[in-house]
Structure 1
Amino acid sequence: MPAPFFPTTRFTAATAPGGLPLLGHALALLRRPHDFVAGLPAHGDLVRLRLGPLHAYVVCHPELVRRLLTEDRVFDKGGPLLDKAREVFGNGLATCPAADHRRQRRLLQPAFHRDRLPGYAAGMADEIAGTTAPWRDGDLIDVPATMHRLTTAVTARCLFAAHERAGKLPVHASMDAVTRGVGRRVLLPLPGADRLPTPGNRRFRRARRDLREITRRLVADHRATGTDRHDLLSVLLAATDEDGRGLSAAEIHEQVVTFLLAGTEATAATLSWAWTLLAANPAVRERLHAELDTVLDGRPARHEDLPALPLTARIVSETLRLYPPPWILSRTATADTELGGHHLPAGATLLVSPYLLHRRADLFPRPDRFDPDRWLTTASPAPGTYTPFGLGARRCIGDAFGTTEAVLAIATIAARWTITPTPGRPVRPARSASLAPRPFTATLTRRAR
């Protein structure tokens, strides 16, 4: 095991203050989830919470986070967030336990080999062009919805070779209802709350049914052609393990839903936040325009342009630091163990928040400031400090895909357009399993180079 990057003689443990009878800290987490979580390091390195009847430990120190995310046999996927997410993803790559993960990762890895990125990038460029083609100077757009349509089209084209069907499938509405539903269930884990006949629960159940129908149609369309389209779905349908076993229909469904959601939600949220940050920081935006005018000269960005777009890439890294889409993760102790010198019983629920880590002033000076240039000197942060894609064997398999898409989208769009959020309407995070912004509008202004 590598030596700790943050040696200390003792990690502190405490119980978060302010718990209420019966509810514990659930109400504070529901009302202001991000602020509440970001304030927990002030109380200790391992902070205990009560969420209704559930007890959980929030891991606040980066060295303990490194251990938690890399020792996946001891700290396996589990806990309230995973339990609720499995209602949608089943036993897909993002939610399966360690015992299944190695097999699944090996079967899916060919779809994300670096040699495929140039081909994917070409499809990304086409979809970015298609999304922005109808834009007109002075148009008012719903930014999150527009970015979601863009990333949905990219995912459908690159991973499921189905771009011609993307606009006909109710993917956007279904995924929005699912992520919000999972978020509510995680933040308010009270017994029976998810079974109440509320409008939100009804939307969640309907969206799950819609997603199942979407995946059925994608698979049926793919099987009808009988050809290898060099996409994720082709890999899923042809994959066999060392025993010659392929994936069952249920397993294929779970993987398709996993990548539909993961391939759209995270990048759409990152792009939406990036436009708000650039609008609030005109000096950075001017430097971005200068880079794009020099490299692109008015044309769309291509894969071969990536090495010449370092500021654009740093903008993506800094946006992911401030607004990491998977803002909270959960694990379960598989046996009696210890973390930071403190005993944890088997079955203990542990929570990790990239949002919390990325807002620690001792790790990132002036953490609330949007400063892409911090990555000039922090290009390789110590494990456990910067975790928008997770860590260890469970690191996101599509991290390079997502960052490539984000860089190409920002470069191509910002080279031609300025996106200005509507004044007087602060953009705030949604209460969701993904750290996406609430709907907001912005004005498009065509750039005169």
Structure 2
Amino acid sequence: MPTTYTSATAPGALPLLGHAPAFLRRPLEFVAGLPAHGDLVRLRLGPLDVYVACHPDLVRQLLTEDRTYDKGGLVLDKAREVFGDGLATCPAAAHRRQRRMLQPAFHRDRLPGYAAMMAEEIAGTTASWSDGDVVDVPAAMYRLTTAVTARCLFAAHERAGALPVHDSMDVITRGVGRRVMMPLPGTDRIPTPGNRRFRRARQDLKEVTRRLIADYRAAGTDHNDLLSMLLSARDEDGRGLTDAEIHDQVVTFLLAGMETTAATLSWAWTLLAAHPAIRDRLHAELDTVLDGRPARHEDLPALPLTARVVTETLRLYPPVWILSRVAAADAELGGHRVPAGATILFSPYLLHRRADVFACPARFDPDRWLTNTRPSPGTYAPFGLGARRCIGDVFGTTEAALAIATIAARWTVTPTPGRPVRPTRSSSLSPRPFTATLARRPW
């Protein structure tokens, strides 16, 4: 018998503003509570009517029927201001060509080379740490992932980790987050200091990437990095990417590699500190395999608990917690009509905390993945699904596993007491404020 999916309008809309105040005030709690009203829930955010797909089956339909539900809508349109038409934000008409051109850059045969660069940057970034240091954990993880991402993108640069992208990307990621969380039209055009910083940082980043692309083209050398792969990529007709297209891909890779992985690592330290029994088991695994040295790519198969910590952290705190699609034509989602041009939101955070999918969903339990290693499509989606699944998913989880293994093998990260950590939304979920004391483990 076919499943019947319910549809409803969320209660509590205010005149003119609709559900925008509730969404802005406590967005995670607001979104996570929507399944109580229906499988497809209609919201009004200011003058905009949007739908939220709450049921895993509807999310799977939304993400796999990518020509019916195209990239766009409330969230993606804001992100496109930064990413342009890179792989993460381009419409379906351009996606297949881009995906085929870029797939070789993320082929599994290239991963050991990237992982070697990751391991060097992780070891180098943490080499300056001292016993007893008090660190801003999200800032430290952001510096680490900046160094890793810049190295893998621009290995030919003399000091890839020192490229002037850190500050620009920090301003941009916060700016994108503010724009996504301000659904009322026109607010991003007001000449506030924040909006001016955002536009200036976006221009600075464009200039850095323009100069790097020109340098690489002039040298004509394959440096076995991502930018070299972008420059050599060809479509079926033998055409390469333009400088503008390469810029959009570089910005996409920068944000995906820096912000989202830094957020995942930061949450991992909060969760491990709150669950010392799991942390002790992780230390035992690392002591056995690494014996105090930095982790390498070939170590990862022998570190299954480390991998499960990454997977469970991504379940509880998916960095990209809300995304959107736009109906390309009148469509039917779960048996309910969605008009052409409508924005449909979906939230991995919501999906990952459904009690009918994950037992005790708020509990940090890496061992749940011992028996639930292949969740049903639509129930676990930190990287999306279908043809638009993140091309760098394995790249990102490899970086996170290497960083957790290398750091936890040598350090215990203890959060500062009395400072509750809460999710702060930039372009991704990040725990703030989060300071911690580093204690060197005996080696």
Q: When the two structures are superposed, what TM-score results if normalisation uses the length of structure 1?
A: 0.96
2:19 corresponding residue in structure 1: 25
Deviation at 1:30, TM superposition (A): 1.1
Partner residue of 1:110 out of 104, 113, 117? 104
| RMSD (CA atoms) | 1.3
Deviation at 1:28, TM superposition (A): 1.1
| Rounded Cα–Cα distance in structure 2 between residues aligned with 1:46 and 1:136 | 51
1:127 aligns to what SS in structure 2?
Answer: helix
| Rounded Cα–Cα distance in structure 1 between residues aligned with 2:151 and 2:76 | 28
Q: 1:120 to 1:383 in 2, by over 3 A?
A: same
Partner residue of 1:396 out of 358, 376, 390? 390
Give the letter for the 1:438 counterpart.
Answer: R
1:318 corresponding residue in structure 2: 312
Matched, 1:424 2:427: no
Partner residue of 1:254 out of 248, 255, 262? 248
1:430 aligns to what SS in structure 2?
Answer: strand
2:147 corresponding residue in structure 1: 153
Give the letter for the 1:211 counterpart.
Answer: L
1:420 aligns to what SS in structure 2?
Answer: strand
2:50 corresponding residue in structure 1: 56
Matched, 1:9 2:11: no
Partner residue of 1:182 out of 172, 176, 185? 176
| Rounded Cα–Cα distance in structure 2 between residues aligned with 1:337 and 1:277 | 41
Matched, 1:141 2:135: yes
| Rounded Cα–Cα distance in structure 2 between residues aligned with 1:170 and 1:437 | 25
Deviation at 1:149, TM superposition (A): 1.0
Deviation at 1:209, TM superposition (A): 1.1
1:4 corresponding residue in structure 2: none
1:135 aligns to what SS in structure 2?
Answer: coil
1:68 corresponding residue in structure 2: 62
Deviation at 1:427, TM superposition (A): 1.3
> What is the total number of aligned residue pairs between the two structures?
443
Matched, 1:377 2:371: yes
CA contact (8 A) 2:150 2:161 kept: no
2:291 aligns to what SS in structure 1?
Answer: coil
1:207 corresponding residue in structure 2: 201
Q: 1:119 to 1:404 in 2, by over 3 A?
A: same
2:135 aligns to what SS in structure 1?
Answer: strand
1:235 corresponding residue in structure 2: 229
| Rounded Cα–Cα distance in structure 2 between residues aligned with 1:224 and 1:141 | 41
User: Post-superposition, which runs of at least 4 consecutive aligned residues in structure 1 deviate over 3 A?
Assistant: 162-168
CA-to-aligned-CA distance 1:416-448 (integer Å, 9 cap, x gap): 000111111111111222112234211100012
| Rounded Cα–Cα distance in structure 1 between residues aligned with 2:301 and 2:419 | 36
Partner residue of 2:187 out of 188, 193, 197? 193
| Rounded Cα–Cα distance in structure 2 between residues aligned with 1:379 and 1:72 | 26
| Rounded Cα–Cα distance in structure 2 between residues aligned with 1:147 and 1:294 | 25
CA-to-aligned-CA distance 1:268-303 (integer Å, 9 cap, x gap): 110010000000000000000000000111111111
CA contact (8 A) 2:72 2:343 kept: yes
Matched, 1:80 2:98: no
Q: 1:165 to 1:447 in 2, by over 3 A?
A: same
| Rounded Cα–Cα distance in structure 1 between residues aligned with 2:401 and 2:136 | 21
2:90 aligns to what SS in structure 1?
Answer: coil
Matched, 1:220 2:217: no
| Rounded Cα–Cα distance in structure 1 between residues aligned with 2:394 and 2:15 | 45
CA-to-aligned-CA distance 1:132-187 (integer Å, 9 cap, x gap): 10110000111111111111111111122156433433322222221221122122
Q: 1:302 to 1:163 in 2, by over 3 A?
A: farther
Partner residue of 2:34 out of 37, 40, 44? 40
| Rounded Cα–Cα distance in structure 1 between residues aligned with 2:201 and 2:21 | 26
Q: Which residues in structure 2 correspond to 1:266-285 (within 5 Å)?
A: 266-285=260-279
1:3 corresponding residue in structure 2: none
Give the letter for the 2:426 counterpart.
Answer: S
Deviation at 1:246, TM superposition (A): 1.4
| Rounded Cα–Cα distance in structure 1 between residues aligned with 2:173 and 2:352 | 22
Deviation at 1:80, TM superposition (A): 1.2
CA-to-aligned-CA distance 1:172-205 (integer Å, 9 cap, x gap): 2222221221122122121221111222212211
Matched, 1:406 2:400: yes
Of stretches 102-111 and 223-232 in structure 1, the one that deviates more from structure 2 is 223-232
CA contact (8 A) 2:147 2:162 kept: no
| Rounded Cα–Cα distance in structure 2 between residues aligned with 1:379 and 1:164 | 41
CA contact (8 A) 1:162 1:218 kept: no
1:429 aligns to what SS in structure 2?
Answer: strand
Deviation at 1:388, TM superposition (A): 0.3
| Rounded Cα–Cα distance in structure 2 between residues aligned with 1:437 and 1:199 | 25
CA contact (8 A) 2:148 2:161 kept: no
CA contact (8 A) 2:213 2:243 kept: no
The unaligned stretches of length 5 or more in structure 1 are 1-6
1:262 aligns to what SS in structure 2?
Answer: helix
CA contact (8 A) 1:51 1:188 kept: no
CA contact (8 A) 1:108 1:232 kept: no
| Rounded Cα–Cα distance in structure 1 between residues aligned with 2:156 and 2:381 | 31
1:169 corresponding residue in structure 2: 163
CA contact (8 A) 1:26 1:187 kept: no
2:290 corresponding residue in structure 1: 296
